Amino acid sequence: METKVKIIERVEQGEKMVDIARSYNMNHSTNGMILKNKDKIMEHVKSVVPMMSTIISKKHGKVMEEMEKLLSVWMQDQQQHQVPLSLMLIQEKAKSLYEDLKKKHREESEGSPFNASHGWFHRFKTRADLHNVKVSGEAASADTVAARQFPEML
């Protein structure tokens, strides 16, 4: 559709149909059909919501980007040393790195707090291309007393 609109615009600007057809490597009769249906094409384009308006994205700050890079390196190192990774361990490491980097980059210390949610972790795995990372489950076997004492020991 985008190509058809560009062809229509180029014809309206006075460019020859033969030259336009060559630039798109298509037959000039195809351009003729596009021009014949110009009104329908333009009506359709105006009625359709642009694709870019349906994409929701959030730009990560400098601290978040650096934290995710460091976390990715740490996770790969842990895997090479065959250390089992749990979601809870990864989340704690992410929070720790984030807080350290936030102190380092004072200008970005404002904003919503980072809580390393399950959703963040799954999106992080996709962004960092860590599809082969195995995370062991701990929900049933978690030692909550040891987990509370661990940050103090660390």
pLDDT in tens, 81-91: 888 888 889 99
pLDDT in tens, 4-37: 888 888 988 998 888 888 888 888 888 888 889 8
Contact 147, 88 (CB under 8 A): yes
Instruction: Specify the pLDDT at position 153.
Output: 66
Angle, CA of 83, 89 and 92, to the nearest 5°: 145
End-to-end Cα separation, the chain, in angstroms: 58
pTM of the model: 0.49
pLDDT band at 143 (very low <50, low <70, confident <90, very high): low
On whether the 2-54 domain is CATH 1.10.10, my answer is yes
Q: The tokens 């014809």 sit on which residue?
A: 11
Least confident of 50-59, 114-123, 138-147: 50-59
Domain locations in the chain as residue ranges = 2-54, 62-153
